[in-house]
Structure 1
């Protein structure tokens, strides 16, 4: 570590640039991407950049404090459409790639997003949120004042609820609007609404001949009580809809093969409920026969890396090669993500994998090259070109000034043996200004999920604690992704048991092998499932001298009925619903053990968290306070479950400051 550099701070969130969504231009000599920053107004600002692959510097294509994203080129590369909030809501804008001003394509009342060109460039297909009464031919975006007035009127009316899925952490309370698929014809200048069922439709792709679209949805009569996502095709001439899958699981990230007679997608049939590893499915359009190409892989497909500096979406696959012989995708394995290639015969090989985090890619077929978005533990993001000969060359130099000024700690990778012999992977950060002969306080970080993965990516919160003088330990206990199906399933119906001893074994390992850790100054923190485990730990042991629980679960009995996922997640993770065995759910609720808590506990919770609702924090606080325990409760106005990752910047910074304050006071 370079001690001449300053320590990182919570405010450094404002000094970082985050990249996403690399997209090759059609001729393959350049690409575009999205850059997101926190601007002077303390708001997220996203702009589009263009860079030739042989140039060292990118050109900025959009400016201002809006959010610009999802740029997609026409097949001939002469035009591009992108998504922008410059008018207020996300709308689609068209721009000539040889210059000129962008012009709006949509003025939909609730916005428009995720555009895709037909292969002949004659039309676009995109998504829009619509209700039954809205006519897309006369859509007009409201002014800020009109939206405010409508929301004020809505707030005066009672909310009538008659469905299980009436709220979500992402959207808040649901209304009558559903995500529908819309077509825009460039020749006629008209919009056509393609779907209208009372369901959210996830647009996936357009067939190569332009005659069909592919989407996923749950069109079952029992959709309100199911978590099914089937794939469908629609004939654009007849509007006939055909079902490709059998209503047994989830299917997504789907695309037509270049010939149009096959579909590739990610999905699974919930064999292990929410802990099921995704499969890579090949589906024959004519027969709807589905074949898994990934039966023997035992790794999670896609990117499930945990981090707090990823803003914006990126392609993770699957993506077809033009000859239909190969498919490319990102997969998560052993603390890292890699780029993989598989033939339709199931022959798997690694195109690129290292101790880092590939968060997205774009592929150019004729040159057999990729643009990879990569994050490392010491660098938030950059883009690289991966040639057909597997040579990797860096294209960008993001956050150069920030990284020159700030000391970033390189983690040490650990392998810990659990009580039952399982190997647990973890990482340890030494504190800023580390001196071998000193003793340092220690913080154990626990990720959420539980089916997620810490790993080789940049993590601001972990670096901040290191900068504040703490030894930081973070691990992937059983239940985490990255180590196969048996490992990720091992926590189900086992909360507070094997996962708890995994974490305690990791702490014991660190104390045994790093003499500079002060055993009398141990702290613990985590969010969501990590918050549950923090609550559980302080009710089971007094070895920690300070704890911070974030967006946590304290009572599985009430979680069942108040969380947007409680009515199925409880069954998934514990094997039973509320009325099946309330006593068993109470036995694994941290609230039951509140009298045992001697560790000073800080409770952080978002007011609008519908995943782990704030009553979970309230119950724990009131109980501990009534018992005269050392406890404090911080409520974040308007914050959802995503506070630490994409919440309002000032709230994210305040959250980090509260964490550091608590540990500084008690450790």
Structure 2
């Protein structure tokens, strides 16, 4: 008999990221992560799949190694502070990053060099030069060259300034990064072991892309450049290595680049959009850029969803989603309810290399060999080699985790609403008996430009193991179906709400063993918005759990990292142009109509959907005598459910499940009963 998935089973999951092939294609180095024993964070180690030996070889055991790069076919570099030098320097007000070199043929990692910046990415340019992306605080008091009393005074001033945040830019904070006012990512050329360094980017540019030409003579950098308000458009510069000259290929003010790479020594490829037709969620198109003239030419004008938007709470980090090989563009696309590895030839013609249900999360290709991380057949992440169209599983790091567990298989339900096809799925509870009745959970994804697919979701599988039906769908607004399907500007809570309610009706009709009086609803981010919207427009649900939600489009637009451009675009209005419209789409307006008992989950460092959103709705319900509770997590952000501290992820799931149990007259297993830290409840 299959065992139920427990609330903390995810602590056993192995999370894969950063899979990268050596130049000869004989090895694939990747990061393998898992929860630490205490549940307070995650451990990361480097592993190497050796294709000759057909096995995975551990490379590091420090539990902190990530963000590596190949120096050559047999050596990798990775940042680490194994002697405490970087920490000691930080206490002295200095910033540095130390890199170690590891021979893949064996031996211990040895210190390679130290760079005087906080490095976020490193790329080899030639045999002795590296290109780095480094963090720079433009407001930080400089201490370079200071000694003695002058240095002590400057450090004391820096310490005093930690008590204040002075803001004069938008955005001034960002989810997962904190306050970012006057903080930039610079592009720098360095020669390790020397004092030679060349800053490639202008002072106020925030570099998002750095690509080196195949002949190593030119470097392209792209990203926003601003000193007050980030318009979310990109500038593209070309740097000539010989002269150091920086020229503008594409000026700021129109285009936003999603991907960038060199097709050849004279031509770049980009995915770009001007947001003029479909707003801030518009799908990009594929262009080439001639570096002599800066002219952009459309290479593929199809309406495509770039990257993998198929969500799961059983993935932690990512890896490569775009690469140019011999003039062909390799990338990931979201297609319907799954993601595919796709290649565009030199004429822009597209061919899919994978079409299976599930998700391809990242990939690499080198010397004719293709590797990728995928979630297939409701299993957890593994590395695969794609050979002659066949996916060959390489790693088996997660096979044993769920081998004896009940994993509910999704049963697909498709229907037409307003002439539009909508896809959804149902998970049956453990030990399902068709003559019994069951409670159920409607789970709504975030985005809304995201997608559910046939991939493993821990929270859903846990609820199914606790005796709940779980059902979920991709309403209008979701990704993978083109711009027209995705476009919800000025329509939030209308067609999407209709799709979700029609889906709920169909599920209850198709599965009469679900007790319609014992159905709960939950969702996060946009799913939290929809949960808040639902409780103000129907009393059909026994209870609700609203997570990292949106309740008021005025506060959402004017306090969050993406509010001032994305959310105003999505509302198709601003607080000044049409305040009635924005208020009409705000769930808070309808809080006086709500009667559904509602739990709110929020994090105090969530700058994507700030905690004011959950607090406003919670307070409104309390004022109208509706059963309500909020659990606020200290030190967590918008990613709590996916990458928060494991003990916090357990507490979150426990809070939600207890709430469901209470109002659906159900009893779940909520072990482990762990004591958690840094949380306040109201």
Same fold flag (TM > 0.5) = yes
After superposition, give the CA deviation of every residue in 1:398-436 in whole Å (9 maximum; x if it has no partner): 212212232211111221221x12111111111122112
Question: Which residue number in structure 1 is paired with residue 492 of structure 2?
Answer: 495
**Deviates most, 404-413 or 525-534:** 404-413
Deviation of the 1:334 alpha carbon = 0.8
Question: Which residue number in structure 1 is paired with residue 338 of structure 2?
Answer: 336
Assess if the C-alpha contact under 8 Å between 2:306 and 2:333 holds in 1. Answer: yes
The 2-side partners of 1:350 and 1:127 are apart by 32
Distance 1:342 1:15, change over 3 A: same
After superposition, give the CA deviation of every residue in 1:168-226 in whole Å (9 maximum; x if it has no partner): 112212254321122222574744433341231224211222222221122356x6141
Question: Which residue number in structure 2 is paired with residue 385 of structure 1?
Answer: 385
The 2-side partners of 1:279 and 1:134 are apart by 42
Question: Which residue number in structure 1 is paired with residue 477 of structure 2?
Answer: 479
The 2-side partners of 1:549 and 1:509 are apart by 23
After superposition, give the CA deviation of every residue in 1:7-61 in whole Å (9 maximum; x if it has no partner): 1122112110011111111111221111011111322111111111244420010
* Structure 1 residue 655 corresponds to structure 2 residue 660: no
Deviation of the 1:550 alpha carbon = 0.4
| Unpaired runs of at least 5, structure 2 | 88-96, 147-154, 665-682
The 2-side partners of 1:241 and 1:134 are apart by 28
**Aligned length, in residue pairs:** 642
**Deviates most, 88-97 or 651-660:** 88-97
Distance 1:427 1:149, change over 3 A: farther
The 1-side partners of 2:145 and 2:207 are apart by 21
Assess if the C-alpha contact under 8 Å between 2:171 and 2:181 holds in 1. Answer: no
Deviation of the 1:379 alpha carbon = 1.2
Question: Which residue number in structure 1 is paired with residue 267 of structure 2?
Answer: 262
3-state SS, counterpart of residue 621 of structure 1: helix
Question: Which residue number in structure 2 is paired with residue 572 of structure 1?
Answer: 569
The 2-side partners of 1:135 and 1:159 are apart by 17
After superposition, give the CA deviation of every residue in 1:125-161 in whole Å (9 maximum; x if it has no partner): 111112357889989xxxxxxxx999964443x3222
Q: TM-score, normalised by structure 2?
A: 0.89
Distance 1:5 1:461, change over 3 A: same
Question: Which residue number in structure 2 is paired with residue 144 of structure 1?
Answer: none
Deviation of the 1:351 alpha carbon = 1.4
Deviation of the 1:444 alpha carbon = 0.7
**Deviates most, 100-109 or 42-51:** 100-109
* Structure 1 residue 112 corresponds to structure 2 residue 152: no
Counterpart among 171, 176, 183 of residue 177 in structure 2: 171
Assess if the C-alpha contact under 8 Å between 2:29 and 2:47 holds in 1. Answer: yes
Alignment of structure 1 residues 405-484 onto 2, 5 Å = 405-418=404-417, 420-484=418-482
Counterpart among 607, 621, 638 of residue 641 in structure 1: 638
When the two chains are superposed, the root-mean-square deviation of aligned CA atoms in Å is 2.4
Assess if the C-alpha contact under 8 Å between 1:137 and 1:191 holds in 2. Answer: no
The 1-side partners of 2:168 and 2:194 are apart by 41
Deviation of the 1:623 alpha carbon = 1.4
Question: Which residue number in structure 1 is paired with residue 371 of structure 2?
Answer: 371
Alignment of structure 1 residues 583-598 onto 2, 5 Å = 583-598=580-595
The 1-side partners of 2:144 and 2:370 are apart by 40
The 2-side partners of 1:227 and 1:398 are apart by 40
The 1-side partners of 2:231 and 2:181 are apart by 19
Alignment of structure 1 residues 7-406 onto 2, 5 Å = 7-42=4-39, 43-66=41-64, 68-75=65-72, 77-84=73-80, 86=82, 87=84, 91-105=98-112, 107=114, 111-118=118-125, 120-132=126-138, 153-156=160-163, 158-186=164-192, 188=194, 190-219=196-225, 224-247=229-252, 248-257=254-263, 259-271=264-276, 272-296=278-302, 298-317=303-322, 319-322=323-326, 324=327, 326-365=328-367, 367=368, 369-376=369-376, 378-387=378-387, 389-406=388-405
Assess if the C-alpha contact under 8 Å between 1:414 and 1:426 holds in 2. Answer: yes
* Structure 1 residue 509 corresponds to structure 2 residue 528: no
After superposition, give the CA deviation of every residue in 1:531-561 in whole Å (9 maximum; x if it has no partner): 0100000110010001000011111122222
| Unpaired runs of at least 5, structure 1 | 140-147
Assess if the C-alpha contact under 8 Å between 1:302 and 1:332 holds in 2. Answer: yes
Question: Which residue number in structure 2 is paired with residue 142 of structure 1?
Answer: none
3-state SS, counterpart of residue 171 of structure 2: coil
After superposition, give the CA deviation of every residue in 1:560-603 in whole Å (9 maximum; x if it has no partner): 22222222223211111111122221112111111211111001
Assess if the C-alpha contact under 8 Å between 1:46 and 1:65 holds in 2. Answer: yes
Assess if the C-alpha contact under 8 Å between 1:18 and 1:36 holds in 2. Answer: yes
